[in-house]
C-alpha cells in the first residue's frame, strides 16, 4: 500500500519526548491519522487501486477456461411395441475441453489501460494526501490553540495574584489606619473581576482541549499535558521561492495533473477502436461415451479434437461512435487543461495573500512583543509608585490592564502567525510527502 507520511516542517515537529501524561504535537498527529475515518476510507481505496494496477487487469494476458460435463441417459423401451429395440437402453458420456483466448493486438489499448490503472492508483494516493493535509492543519492549530489558551490563563492568574497582593497590602494598611478605604474596596473589586475572568478562561481552555480531542478521535474528556512549547521560529520567505515550491508540490495541483494524464489515456483508449483487433484462440476437446443395450456388453468410444485459430476484426463503420468518442475525450482533456490553469491562478492568488498576511502578522507579533515588554516595565514601575503614593489605585489598575491586554494581544498574534505559517506550508506542499510505494 502507498503510505502517506506526514512531513511537518522542523518547527512543528520538535522531537520532544513525552511521558504517560504528556502529549507532543507528533503524538497528536499520529493519533489523529490513525483514528481519522476519511483517511481510513481513502487508504482502502488506495489499496483497491493498487490491486487493480496490473497487466492482467489491463488485458495483456490470455484467458484460459476449462469445462467438464458428465451425462447419463436411461431409456426403457421394453414396453414400447413401436420401438425397434424393445429393451433398456443405457448411455453414458464425458465431455471435457480447454479453451485459450488471447487478444494479440487491440490498438495499443492494453498499454493505455495499464497506464490509466497506474494513474488511478496515484490519484487515490493524492486524495489520501489531501485528507492528511487537512488533518495535519487542524491538529496543528488545535494543539497550539490549547497552549495559547493555557498561557492566557497563566496571564490571568498572574493578574489575579497581583490584585490579591494589592488587596492584602491595602487591607493591612487599612487596619493600621494608613490606607484609604476606597483603595481596599477598589482592589477587592479587582480581585472579584479577575477571578471571574480566570474562571471564564478555564472554560475556554477546557473547550480547546475537547476540540483537540475530537480532532484526534480521542475521548472528549481525555486529560494530558502538552509536551511541545510554543515555537517562535518565523523566518522571512521570498514569494518567488514559495511560488516555485507551490507549483511543484501543491497537492491539489498535483492531483489535477494526474487527472490530466488520465484524460490523455482516455483519448488513447478511444483511438484504439480505430485499429484492427487480432486474436488467437486455441484449445482441445474430448468426448468419451458408452452405450449399452439390456444385458449386452457396453460399446464405448473416445473423440479428441484440437484447434488453433487466428481472427482479425476491424470496425469499418458504427455510426460515427468512435469519432465522437475521440472528440469527447479531446474536449475533456482541454477542459482539464483549463481547470489546471484556473487552479494555478487561484493558488497563486491565495499564495500572495497568505504571504502578505504572514509578513504582516510577523511584524504585528514583533510589535506586540515589544509592547508587552514595555507594559511589564510600566507595571513594575507603577507598583513602586503606588507604594510611594505617587499614583492612586485607579491609575495602578489602568497600568495593570494595559499589561494584561498587551499579554493577550501578543498571544493572539502568535496564534495568528502560526495559522499563517501553517497555511503557507500547506499551499507549498510542505505538510505531507508521498514516498514511493512499497
Q: What is the pLDDT of residues 154-188, one digit of tens each?
A: 999 999 999 898 888 777 776 666 656 677 788 88
How confident is the prediction for the chain on average, in pLDDT? 86
pLDDT at residue 28, rounded to an integer: 92
Tens digit of each residue's pLDDT (9 = 90 or more) over 209-260: 999 999 998 888 888 888 888 877 899 999 999 999 999 999 999 999 999 9
| Phi-psi category of residue 131: left, alpha or beta, with phi > 0 → left and psi -120 to 50 → alpha | alpha
Task: Give dist(CA 101, CA 283) in Å, integer.
Answer: 9
Provide the percentage of residues in the chain whose pLDDT is more than 70. 91
Q: Which CATH architecture fits 5-61+107-276+322-433?
A: Up-down Bundle (1.20)
Instruction: Find the range with the poorest average confidence among 141-150, 183-192, 271-280.
Output: 183-192
pLDDT at residue 185, rounded to an integer: 82
CB atoms under 10 Å from CB of 243, counted, come to 18
pLDDT at residue 178, rounded to an integer: 60
Q: Is the pLDDT of residue 437 over 50?
A: no
- pTM of structure: 0.79
Classify residue 251 by burial, with Cβ atoms within 10 Å: 0-12, 13-18, 19+. Answer: buried
Q: Quick one: angle between helices 251-272 and 239-249, nearest 10?
A: 40
CB atoms under 10 Å from CB of 400, counted, come to 22
Instruction: Find the range with the poorest average confidence among 58-72, 91-105, 149-163, 178-192.
Output: 178-192
Provide the percentage of residues in the chain whose pLDDT is more than 90. 53
Instruction: Find the range with the poorest average confidence among 89-93, 107-111, 120-124.
Output: 89-93
Does residue 274 contact residue 390 with C-beta atoms inside 8 Å? no
pLDDT at residue 223, rounded to an integer: 85
The mean per-residue pLDDT over the stretch 292-309 comes to 80
Identify how many contiguous H helices and E strands the chain contains and give both numbers: 9, 8
pLDDT at residue 301, rounded to an integer: 81
Amino acid at each position: 500500500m502507498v503510505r502517506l507520511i506526514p512531513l511537518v516542517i522542523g518547527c512543528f515537529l520538535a522531537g520532544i519526548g513525552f511521558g504517560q501524561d504528556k502529549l507532543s504535537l507528533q503524538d497528536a498527529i499520529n493519533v489523529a491519522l490513525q483514528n481519522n475515518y476519511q483517511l481510513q476510507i481513502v487508504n482502502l481505496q488506495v489499496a483497491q487501486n493498487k490491486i487493480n494496477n496490473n497487466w492482467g487487469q489491463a488485458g495483456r494476458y490470455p484467458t484460459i477456461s476449462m469445462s467438464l460435463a458428465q451425462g447419463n441417459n436411461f431409456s426403457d423401451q421394453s414396453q414400447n411395441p413401436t420401438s425397434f429395440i424393445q429393451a433398456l437402453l443405457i448411455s453414458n458420456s464425458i465431455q471435457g475441453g480447454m479453451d485459450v483466448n488471447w487478444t494479440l493486438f487491440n490498438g495499443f489499448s492494453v498499454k493505455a489501460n495499464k497506464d490509466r490503472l497506474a494513474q488511478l492508483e496515484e490519484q487515490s494516493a493524492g486524495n489520501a494526501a489531501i485528507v492528511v493535509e487537512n488533518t495535519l492543519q487542524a491538529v496543528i492549530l488545535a494543539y497550539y490553540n490549547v497552549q495559547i489558551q493555557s498561557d492566557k490563563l497563566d496571564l490571568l492568574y498572574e493578574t489575579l495574584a497581583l490584585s490579591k497582593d494589592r488587596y492584602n497590602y491595602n487591607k493591612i494598611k487599612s487596619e493600621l489606619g494608613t490606607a484609604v478605604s476606597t483603595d481596599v474596596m477598589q482592589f477587592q473589586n479587582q480581585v472579584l473581576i479577575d477571578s471571574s475572568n480566570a474562571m471564564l478562561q478555564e472554560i475556554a481552555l477546557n473547550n480547546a482541549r475537547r476540540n483537540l480531542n475530537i480532532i484526534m478521535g480521542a475521548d472528549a474528556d481525555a486529560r494530558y499535558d502538552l509536551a511541545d512549547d510554543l515555537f517562535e521560529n518565523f523566518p522571512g520567505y521570498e514569494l518567488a521561492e514559495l511560488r516555485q515550491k507551490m507549483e511543484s508540490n501543491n497537492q491539489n495541483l498535483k492531483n489535477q495533473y494526474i487527472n490530466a494524464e488520465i484524460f490523455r489515456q482516455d483519448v488513447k483508449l478511444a483511438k484504439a477502436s480505430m485499429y484492427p483487433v487480432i486474436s488467437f484462440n486455441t484449445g482441445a476437446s474430448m468426448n468419451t461415451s458408452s452405450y449399452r443395450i439390456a444385458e449386452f456388453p457396453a460399446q464405448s468410444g473416445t473423440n479428441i479434437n484440437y484447434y488453433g485459430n487466428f481472427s482479425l476484426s476491424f470496425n469499418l463503420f458504427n455510426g460515427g461512435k468512435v469519432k465522437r468518442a475521440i472528440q469527447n475525450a479531446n474536449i475533456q482533456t482541454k477542459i482539464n487543461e483549463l481547470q489546471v490553469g484556473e487552479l494555478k491562478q487561484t493558488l497563486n492568488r491565495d499564495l500572495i495573500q497568505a504571504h502578505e498576511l504572514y509578513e504582516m502578522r510577523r511584524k504585528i507579533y514583533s510589535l506586540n512583543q515589544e509592547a508587552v515588554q514595555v507594559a511589564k516595565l510600566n507595571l513594575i514601575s507603577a507598583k513602586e509608585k503606588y507604594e510611594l503614593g505617587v499614583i492612586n489605585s485607579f491609575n495602578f489598575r489602568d497600568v495593570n490592564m494595559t499589561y494584561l491586554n498587551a499579554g493577550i494581544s501578543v498571544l493572539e498574534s502568535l496564534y495568528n502567525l502560526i495559522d499563517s505559517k501553517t497555511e503557507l506550508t500547506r499551499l507549498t506542499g510542505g505538510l505531507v510527502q508521498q514516498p514511493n510505494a512499497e
